[in-house]
Amino acid sequence: MDLQILSELSNDASISVPRLSKKINVNSSVVYSRIKRLVKRKLIERFTIVVNDAELGYNVKALTGINMDTKKRDHIIKELFKIDGVREVAEVTGRFDILVTMYSKSLDQMHKMVSERIGRIEGIQSSESFIEMKSRMKAMPYMPSKDSD
- C-alpha angle 87/134/85, rounded to 5°? 20
Using only the alpha carbons of the chain, give its radius of gyration: 20
* Whole-number average pLDDT of the chain: 91
The whole-angstrom separation of Cα 85 and Cα 59 is 12
Instruction: Name residue 44's amino acid.
Output: I
The whole-angstrom separation of Cα 118 and Cα 94 is 20
pLDDT tens sequence across 1-60:
899 999 889 888 999 999 999 999 999 999 999 999 999 999 999 998 888 998 999 999
Which domains, ranges and CATH numbers included, belong to the chain? 2-40 (1.10.10.10), 53-131 (3.30.70.920)
DSSP element (H, E) containing 20? helix 17-24
Instruction: Name residue 31's amino acid.
Output: V
- Give residue 5's pLDDT: 92
Higher local confidence (pLDDT), 78 or 137: 78
Whether residue 126 has pLDDT greater than 90: yes
| pTM value > 0.85 | no
Whether residue 142 has pLDDT greater than 90: no
Q: How far is CA 107 from CA 33, 41, 87, 122, in A?
A: 48, 43, 17, 24
- What value does the mean pLDDT take over residues 80-92? 97
The whole-angstrom separation of Cα 142 and Cα 145 is 9
- Give residue 138's pLDDT: 79
- Give residue 145's pLDDT: 46
